[in-house]
Structure 1
Amino acid sequence: MVTPHPAPTRARRARSVPLRHVAPGLLRDPVRALVGFGERADGEVVRLNVGAFRPYLVTDPDHVQQVLGDRADNFGRAGDGAFWGPLRRLFGDGILGDGPVWSDSRRILQPLFTARRVESVLPRMAATIVDAVAELDAPARAGRPVDIGAEQARIVCRAVMETFFGDRISAADALRVIQAQDAIATSVIPRVLVPFAPLALPMPGDRAFRDAARRIDEVLTPAVRAARGSDGDDVIATLWRGSTADGRPLDERQVRNDTVAMVAVTTETTVNVLTWLWPHLARSPRVAARLQEEIDSVAGGHPVGPEHLPRLRYTRMVLDELVRLYPVGWLAPRQVLRPTTLGGVRLPAGATLLVSPLVTQRLARHWDDPDAFDPDRFTPERVRARHRYAYFPFGGGPHQCLGMHLFYLEAQLIVANLLARYRLRVRSPRLPAVQLAAALRPRDRVELDVLPAHAGVVA
């Protein structure tokens, strides 16, 4: 007897979330609204009515895996889409784009960010971080509070510029670039919210965008030109030595575009996400005590170097939980290239999909008490039991962030060296508000008092 195959499920239209529900929520509290839409979708692909713009929200890990990984060739990073279009004015085509130009850039740059290569530069990076952290002795001695976001930016810029840019860009100039990137991240939001507006139509934020882009070029274009024909394994020299798939050398514009992108990729996540750590530790004394105990046990009050990292397991779990709640790359929009179905929903060619780790990583159907700060979610046993795409703060598939491994090692070194040398006390345990910009960032400053961890540290 032949058992008949079940009849195929017919594709259906997506449920729509009406404008009267979408618009007020996004205006009041966009993070809570987006997570709320994801909760109500209950794993389905739904359509958000945002007036003339009606994207599909994709939140289920199985569906995310298909979009970013298994079927990525049908879901493109559309260069002129709602999200990438405005940013393309800064980054151009290249490592943050798609297609053949992206493929060339990825092939050229990936060897610089393999685990083996990153670990080979760790001794130099660690020494730079130790020196940069020690500069907090001055405010500790004076009893002066510090803006920890600004201090982290200073530490990261020194470490990254020396290690990955061969000192072609000074730490001071890199800070100028980061400040300009902050301005750009917020200036593009009007265009992201009104994606159908042509670039020729003036919009709020356009002038701030142009001014910030000019400041970035004033710093980076001379560095790019000076590196042409030079030796070295830094990012800019590597780009100049690179070639396209058909053997042509990269032109100055692409080297410039990828340099701008790589400065952002190698600094932004560490600078922004660590700012949320300190209020969370103040609000979670158990987590703070366990983290401090591990660092004291491993480092014994001495500077933390690469040799200590394998034993900083709880520190790594703390960072995993931090980027669960605050994935800097919070949105990964995609465009449907050919008509298809996803989760039984018909998707026409040209449709925009919104894939967001910020949403999926805060859904109660995948995470117990999702708003709580709980690093124990990342024990090996719990990680193995979870869907691979329930947690994807650095994206996935062919476009997974090149700097992921760098972030974890660099952030562990920064956090561990800060807590080995000082006791940091937040002036207010209030969590900074989340600002949804081109990249997620804290809206508020976090001020800390810096106290020596051991007698004699601050002479």
Structure 2
Amino acid sequence: MPLWHTLPNLLRDPARALVEFGERSAGQVVRLNLGSLRPYLVTHPEHLQQVLRERSGNYVRAGDGLQWRPLKRLFGEGILGDGEHWADSRQILQPLFTARRIDTMVDRLAVAIEEAVDELAEPARTGRPVDMGTVQARIVCSAIMRVFFADRISVSDAMRIMQAQDAIARSVMPRILVPWAPLAVPMPGDRTFRRAVQLIDDLLLPTVRATRHEAVDGADDIISTLWRGRTEDGGRLDEQQVRNDTVAMVATTTETTISVLTWLWPHIERNPEIAARLQAEIDEVVGGQPVRREHLRDLRYTRQVLDELLRLYPIGWLFPRNAVEEDVVGGVRIPAGSTVVVSPLITHRMSMFWERPEVFDPDRFRPEQARQRHRYTHFPFGGGPHQCLGMHLFYLEATLIVASLLSRFRFRLCRPAVPGIKVAAALRPLAPVEAVLRPAAGVAA
């Protein structure tokens, strides 16, 4: 795809341009001309399986290009990297995120979410509009800081970190769109990025250092686990890697849920039948009770709604990879050292894999339909060895939040239109999603 087609469209509307690249590729491996960078775009599920799973060892995270290079200045080497550092961090952190362990935390998460939702009683009573992104950020931070960080990070500090992450997500956009620009060359957003990283370090580093001396056996919070964990050769992580992994885990355990759920409200406002089905299921399963573990297995349509949100707004929207050795994908030779781009945002919106991909339709994820699709037609958490550790956590936490909110309140958006997509470190709405709440009938706010 020539430069005159790719670059102007990317600069004008990155999300739309990427989906158009996918449509034009018709599932074939194509090369994007972005000037000095010419990555191969892989969109077909069978080819994705080869890159992300079957030949994952040959396609390593692109530490020097596209999305990762500007963000590496924040996250450094560790769980969001590759190679030895990633393997050590993954080995230490993975036991915290197994389905069995997350299931044991459901009731603690539910109580923390319920208490955070209680704070919406006042705006519901007065009719004061609320920003749903901010509301969800507070709910998520309250739950995650308690359950995964043992309240070592206060909710107010966590909210300041969220604001810094927002600034970072905006500030890296120029470098993501112009990935060939050297980091030494100043670009718009650099100063904002540095200030935000410094704020995060000022808030987290004292806690990381203090926890080093408190990481006794039995403490199962993330920071203690990182300090106490052993690498494959029996060593321990140094302070820099514990810092990197703490920053990464604060970001990934909060940002993903906040970003995805913000899109829920405009979509159900625009689709009254979907909203009615979702509300009816929550009313029937939960009723006026607090949402708890035993309710989750019966919230099946709620899970379909979440899957459709993840189709349109995947957790990881772009996965650049570097080919270590020459390979052939879809009949196309990929030379060693080449950059390969994988994007759930693209594959999830391609008409050759999805009927009417622009339409919000949770029925796509009825079990009988989902079973007929290739595993890599829907991969919002990535795939293979690098699949996101927090996938099971997301589904539990998001279901608890949606059910808790809709069992207590009814929502009317101030602006019912679905916002456009702001492409940054995560997919964010171009405009705030504001809503007026009122207590549900028969439920005390």
For the superposition of Structure 1 and Structure 2, which TM-score range results when normalised by the shorter chain? over 0.9
Runs of 4+ that moved beyond 3 A: none
CA contact under 8 A between 2:349 and 2:357: conserved in structure 1?
Answer: yes
CA contact under 8 A between 2:285 and 2:295: conserved in structure 1?
Answer: yes
Match for residue 27 of structure 2 among 32, 43, 47: 43
TM-score by length of 2: 0.98
1:252-401 matched pairs, under 5 angstroms:
252-401=239-388
- Aligned counterparts of 2:443 and 2:91: Cα–Cα separation in 1: 49
1:322 Cα deviation from its structure 2 partner: 0.4
CA contact under 8 A between 1:229 and 1:240: conserved in structure 2?
Answer: no
Match for residue 201 of structure 1 among 182, 185, 189: 185
CA contact under 8 A between 1:145 and 1:450: conserved in structure 2?
Answer: yes
Unaligned ranges ≥5, structure 2:
none
Q: Secondary structure at the match of 1:432?
A: coil
Alignment coverage as a number of residue pairs: 442
C-alpha distance after superposition, 1:385-435 (max 9, x if no partner)? 000000000000000000110001000000001000011111111112101
- Aligned counterparts of 2:62 and 2:132: Cα–Cα separation in 1: 36
Give the structure 2 partner of residue 84 of structure 1: 68
C-alpha distance after superposition, 1:197-250 (max 9, x if no partner)? 222222221111100000100111011011113231000000000122211111
Match for residue 203 of structure 2 among 219, 223, 243: 219
Q: Which amino acid letter does the alignment assign opposite residue 411 of structure 2?
A: L
1:82 Cα deviation from its structure 2 partner: 2.4
1:25-104 matched pairs, under 5 angstroms:
25-104=9-88
- Please tell me the root mean square deviation across aligned C-alpha atoms, in Å: 1.0
Match for residue 101 of structure 2 among 110, 117, 123: 117
Give the structure 2 partner of residue 166 of structure 1: 150
Answering whether residue 433 of structure 2 is matched by residue 446 of structure 1, we say yes
CA contact under 8 A between 2:408 and 2:443: conserved in structure 1?
Answer: no
1:456 Cα deviation from its structure 2 partner: 5.3
Answering whether residue 95 of structure 2 is matched by residue 108 of structure 1, we say no
- Aligned counterparts of 1:101 and 1:278: Cα–Cα separation in 2: 39
Q: Alpha carbons of 1:90 and 1:401: their partners in 2 closer, same or farther (altered >3 Å)?
A: same
Q: Secondary structure at the match of 1:435?
A: strand
Answering whether residue 173 of structure 2 is matched by residue 189 of structure 1, we say yes
Q: Secondary structure at the match of 1:227?
A: helix
CA contact under 8 A between 2:288 and 2:443: conserved in structure 1?
Answer: no
Q: Secondary structure at the match of 2:341?
A: strand
Q: Which amino acid letter does the alignment assign opposite residue 49 of structure 1?
A: N
Identity, % of aligned pairs?
64
Match for residue 130 of structure 1 among 114, 138, 144: 114
CA contact under 8 A between 1:191 and 1:203: conserved in structure 2?
Answer: yes
CA contact under 8 A between 1:328 and 1:441: conserved in structure 2?
Answer: no
Q: Which amino acid letter does the alignment assign opposite residue 416 of structure 1?
A: A
- Aligned counterparts of 1:383 and 1:293: Cα–Cα separation in 2: 23
- Aligned counterparts of 1:298 and 1:226: Cα–Cα separation in 2: 44
Q: Secondary structure at the match of 2:435?
A: strand
- Aligned counterparts of 1:173 and 1:323: Cα–Cα separation in 2: 28
Give the structure 2 partner of residue 8 of structure 1: none
- Aligned counterparts of 1:420 and 1:456: Cα–Cα separation in 2: 8
Q: Which amino acid letter does the alignment assign opposite residue 193 of structure 1?
A: L
Answering whether residue 145 of structure 2 is matched by residue 177 of structure 1, we say no
CA contact under 8 A between 1:46 and 1:58: conserved in structure 2?
Answer: yes
Q: Which amino acid letter does the alignment assign opposite residue 229 of structure 2?
A: G
- Aligned counterparts of 1:233 and 1:379: Cα–Cα separation in 2: 36
Could you say which structure has the larger radius of gyration?
1
Q: Alpha carbons of 1:198 and 1:30: their partners in 2 closer, same or farther (altered >3 Å)?
A: closer
C-alpha distance after superposition, 1:43-81 (max 9, x if no partner)? 110011111111111100011111111100000102222
Match for residue 144 of structure 1 among 128, 132, 153: 128
1:339 Cα deviation from its structure 2 partner: 1.2
- Aligned counterparts of 1:355 and 1:407: Cα–Cα separation in 2: 22
CA contact under 8 A between 1:229 and 1:237: conserved in structure 2?
Answer: no
Q: Secondary structure at the match of 1:185?
A: helix
- Aligned counterparts of 1:411 and 1:285: Cα–Cα separation in 2: 21
CA contact under 8 A between 1:59 and 1:359: conserved in structure 2?
Answer: yes
Give the structure 2 partner of residue 3 of structure 1: none
CA contact under 8 A between 1:303 and 1:421: conserved in structure 2?
Answer: no
1:22 Cα deviation from its structure 2 partner: 1.0
Q: Secondary structure at the match of 1:94?
A: coil
CA contact under 8 A between 2:319 and 2:342: conserved in structure 1?
Answer: yes
- Aligned counterparts of 1:146 and 1:204: Cα–Cα separation in 2: 31
- Aligned counterparts of 1:383 and 1:250: Cα–Cα separation in 2: 41
- Aligned counterparts of 2:79 and 2:374: Cα–Cα separation in 1: 28
- Aligned counterparts of 1:328 and 1:396: Cα–Cα separation in 2: 12
After the TM superposition, which of the residue ranges 135-144 and 187-196 deviates more from structure 2? Answer: 187-196
Unaligned ranges ≥5, structure 1:
1-16
- Aligned counterparts of 1:229 and 1:249: Cα–Cα separation in 2: 14
1:194 Cα deviation from its structure 2 partner: 2.4
CA contact under 8 A between 1:422 and 1:453: conserved in structure 2?
Answer: yes
Q: Which amino acid letter does the alignment assign opposite residue 368 of structure 1?
A: E
1:177 Cα deviation from its structure 2 partner: 0.7
C-alpha distance after superposition, 1:22-48 (max 9, x if no partner)? 122212222221111111111110011
- Aligned counterparts of 1:19 and 1:251: Cα–Cα separation in 2: 44
Answering whether residue 6 of structure 2 is matched by residue 22 of structure 1, we say yes
CA contact under 8 A between 2:259 and 2:426: conserved in structure 1?
Answer: no
CA contact under 8 A between 1:432 and 1:443: conserved in structure 2?
Answer: yes
